[in-house]
Amino acid sequence: MVLLTKFAIAVLNARKIFGYTPGEVSEAVSISVRWYQKSESGERLPGSVTLIRIILFLYIYVEDLREEAELFVPVHSI
């Protein structure tokens, strides 16, 4: 849940900084406006390909999401 919220905040802030509309971002990353809005509002986390497209398009600093993401990725010891 923390990752979803943190991602939503990062996406919203980045979009506003660059002055894009939700429609412009959704078109650039090849998803519907509604799906993008769900990502930005924290309702849904996009799939890996779409996630990468959004991060690259909006220049989101991935390190800001790293700590929360590690909570969801299992760590296997050898």
Query: pTM for this one?
Result: 0.76
SS (H, E, C) 27-56: HHCCCCHHHHHHHHHCCCCCCHHHHHHHHH
Q: Residue 27 corresponds to which tokens in the numbers above?
A: 């078109």
pLDDT confidence of residue 74: 52
Q: What is the dihedral of CA 19, 69, 71, 77, to 10 degrees?
A: -170
Q: Residue 51 corresponds to which tokens in the numbers above?
A: 């996630």
With 0-12 / 13-18 / 19 or more C-beta atoms within 10 angstroms meaning exposed / middle / buried, residue 36 is buried
Of 3.30.1540.10, 1.10.260.40, 3.30.2000.10, 2.40.160.10, which CATH number belongs to 2-70?
1.10.260.40
What's the pLDDT tens digit per position in 37-50? Answer: 998 998 988 888 99
Predicted confidence (pLDDT) at residue 15 exceeds the cutoff of 90: yes
For the chain, the domains span: 2-70
pLDDT confidence of residue 77: 56
pLDDT confidence of residue 60: 86
